[in-house]
Every structure is written in structure tokens, then in C-alpha cells.
Structure 1
Amino acid sequence: MHSLIELWESVRDFIATGGSVLYIVAFVLFAMWVLIIERFWFVTRDYPVLRSKIVAEWNARTDTTSWYAHKIRDAWVSEASAKLTQRMNVINTLIAVCPMVGLLGTVTGMIAVFEIMALQGTGNPRLMAAGISMATIPTMAGMVACLSGVFVASKLEGKIKSAIHELADSLPHH
């Protein structure tokens, strides 16, 4: 319990040093990871059931060679593909937003530095250092959040593409 309190205090100090923009970074990061985890859950748990159902329905068909059968097959593959890729655009958008929110923190931190310089002059480096760290910490946090999402989202997109191809391959069209 003591280590959790220390962890919370270090996070609180980090946010105090980086400014309130870090709350926005944290919110974007949380939303991105919730969606990524949901997509992984769908791909690994829910999609195999859907895939089995589609393959069973295709194998139960007596006609798999006509033009009409090919269109049904294409529609089923397309529907499965739409379900697999659902929310991926939102995930990719949140990944792209992370550095932008970090840059917002840079701008607000630099404004704080300029306000300090206007009020106190350039003679107090400690006051300027606080503003500069308020400018750089959100940028770093936004980039770290972005990089964590980029890596995992690319793995997820690879799984989705291979799942779509495997489904199409398991529905033979003679």
C-alpha cells in the first residue's frame, strides 16, 4: 500500500511539473488504450466465433460456384472485414492527436515562461526553469503516448489483415 501511495505522489508531482495539459494527454492515452484492448479482445475472442459461423454457413451452401454465390461470399468477407477494422480509424486518430496535445503543453509552458520574464525579468532562472519544464514534459509525454500506440496499433492492424485474408482463403470459390 505504501508503494502505491508513493507511485501516486510521483504521478501527481509529474503532472504538477508538466502542467494541466498532462490531464488531456492522460485522457487521450486512456481512451486510445481502452479501444486498443477492445479491438484485441474482439480479434482474439469474438472474431473466431464469427469466422466459424461464416465458414459453416458457406460450407452448408450447395451452390458455391455461381456469380450469386461469389457475391454472397464477397459480402460476408466484407462484413467481417468491417467488424474487424471497426474503431481502427479512431485509434489511429488518437495516436496522431497525442503529439499535438503534447505540443499544446509546449505552447502553454512557453507562455508561462514569457509571462514570468515579463513580470520578473530574466534575472531569475529558477522561475524560468519551471516554465521550461512545463513546456517540455507534455511534449515528452505526448510522444511517449504516441509511440506506445503506434507499435501496438501496427501489430493489431497486422492481425486484422491476416484474419481477413484467412477468412477469404477459408471460403473456397471454385
Structure 2
Amino acid sequence: MWWLIEELESIRRFLGMGGDVLIAIFILSFMLWVVLLERWFYFVAVAPKAAKSALNNWMIRKDHNSWNAKAIRQEIISKQDIENKRGLPVIKVLIALCPLLGLLGTVVGMIQVFDILAVVGTGSPRAMASGISKATIPTLAGMVASLSGLFFSTRLDHQAKMTTQKLEDQLKHIA
């Protein structure tokens, strides 16, 4: 249990080195990962059942070739496509916000460096070090959060397209 306390203390020190903007990046990346995990859970547990239900509803129909049947088939595919892509725009917005918050951290850190320079002058590099860390750490954290989320977002986007295409192909073979 002592190792958990040490880990939490190191996280607290890291967040302190990056300033308030780093805490905002942490909260934003937490929200990003909550939405990413929700979408992953959807594709693992919910999407196969929804596709099977849509396929069963289509197979119950007696008519598969009329104009009305084709419109209903297109509606089934469109509804499933909307469900598959739900949440993906939110993920993309959160990914885009991460580096922007990192840049905000850079600006805040550099303002702190200039404040220290105005008070102390250029003779004390140690005094400027905290401002420089508050300028670089949020930028690094924003980019890391953005890049890690981007990889999984691309995978989820691909999964959404493949799931919709698979349903469309299955409904074509029945028609």
C-alpha cells in the first residue's frame, strides 16, 4: 500500500510542476479515455447484438425486393451507422483540445518566466526554472494525450465503418 502513496505523491509533484493547465489537461485526457473506453465497450458488447437484431428484423420481412423494402433496408443500415459513429466527433474534439491546452500551458509558463525576469533579472537561472518547466511540461502532456487518443480514435473510426459495411453486406445477401 505504501507504493500507492508514493505513486500518488509523484503524480501530485508532476502536476505541481506543470501548473494549473496540466490539471486541466489531465481532466481532459480522463474524459477522452472515458469516451474511448465506452466506444470500445460498444463495439465489443453492444454492436454485435444490435447487428444481429437488425438482421433478424430484416429476415422476418417477407418482401425484400420492392422499393419500400429497399428503403427500409437503407433505414436499418443508416440507424446502425449512426449508432456506430456516435461519440466519435466528441473524441475528435477532445483530441484536438489536448495540444491547444498544452500551448496554453506554454504561454502561462512563459509569462511566469518573464515575471521572474522582471523581478530578479537574468542573473538567477534557478528562479526561471520553475517557469520553464511550467512552459514545457503541459506542452509535452498535451501532445502525449493527443497522440495516444488519436491512435485509438482511428481504430474506432475504422471499426465503425467495418461494422456498418458488414451489416450492409449481410443484408445484401439476403435480398
TM bucket normalised to smaller: over 0.9
TM-score, normalised relative to structure 1: 0.98
SS state at 1:65 partner: coil
Local SS of the residue matching 2:58? helix
Count of aligned pairs? 174
1:99 aligns with 2:111: no
For 1:56, the equivalent position in structure 2 comes to 56
TM-score by structure 2 length? Answer: 0.97
Q: Give the equivalent residue in structure 2 for 1:2.
A: 2
Q: List alignment gaps of at least 5 residues for structure 1.
A: none
Aligned-partner residue type, residue 62 of structure 1: K
CA distance in 2, matches of 1:16, 1:58: 57
Q: Deviations over 1:36-76 (max 9, x none)?
A: 10011111101111111110011111100111111100011
Counterpart of 2:71, as a letter, is K
Structure 2 match to 1:31: 31
Q: Which runs of 5+ in 2 are unaligned?
A: none
Amino acid at match of 2:12: R
2 CA distance for matches of 1:56 and 1:34? 32
What is the aligned-residue RMSD (CA, Å)? 0.9
Q: Distance in 1 between matches of 2:16 and 2:47?
A: 43
Q: 1:47 maps to which residue?
A: 47
Residue matched to 1:20: 20
**Percent identity, aligned pairs only?**
44
Residue of structure 2 equivalent to 1:121: 121
Aligned partners of 1:57, 1:132: CA distance in 2, in Å?
A: 61
Tell me the distance in 1 between the aligned counterparts of 2:76 and 2:55. Answer: 10
What's the CA shift for 1:2? 1.0
Could you tell me which residue of structure 1 aligns to residue 111 of structure 2? 111
Which stretches of structure 1, 4 residues or more, deviate above 2 A after TM superposition? none
- Alpha-carbon deviation of 1:35? 0.4
User: What amino acid is aligned across from residue 12 of structure 1 in structure 2?
Assistant: R
CA–CA distance in 2 between the matches of 1:58 and 1:99?
A: 45
